[in-house]
Structure 1
């Protein structure tokens, strides 16, 4: 772990109306995620812990200090889930998954 004197390295990844909060143990990991996210058309915004509760409380949170998150998190899967959620909220494709 490479935390800087208690500093929390947090970043919001967003695209359209969807967003998640991420936290990292080091700047290198945070920068690597930023490069991947921006390559997929996402917006990346640094986040201070002071701004987390009033602004982003309730958003999905992914802690990249956790080795399980590091291993299984997938940006492409996340973006696909967001796209599918938009389709279903607009009423398209509802018959494909609605249980009668």
Structure 2
């Protein structure tokens, strides 16, 4: 059987460990809060991983790219329609000739 003194020491040690864990949790929360504040501050100043609105420029470029692609597809669609009509006409000509 463990003596009373040992039990008390063990209890105090566990209590100290728990207190340490609490402090650890507090520290983590504080660090996370600081990180969040810094991130927001950078956002306000307009600097982040991408400087001077590069992200916005990328979005604009993506939009322009999509518009160009749509126009190209429309043109190709028109060309394809024209080609189909020409093939149909050629087929009709061949049918008439035979």
Q: RCO higher in 1 or 2 (8 Å CA, sep ≥ 6)?
A: 1
TM-score if structure 1 supplies the norm length?
A: 0.29
Tell me which protein shows more strand as a share of its residues: 1
Larger Rg: 2
TM-score if structure 2 supplies the norm length?
A: 0.29
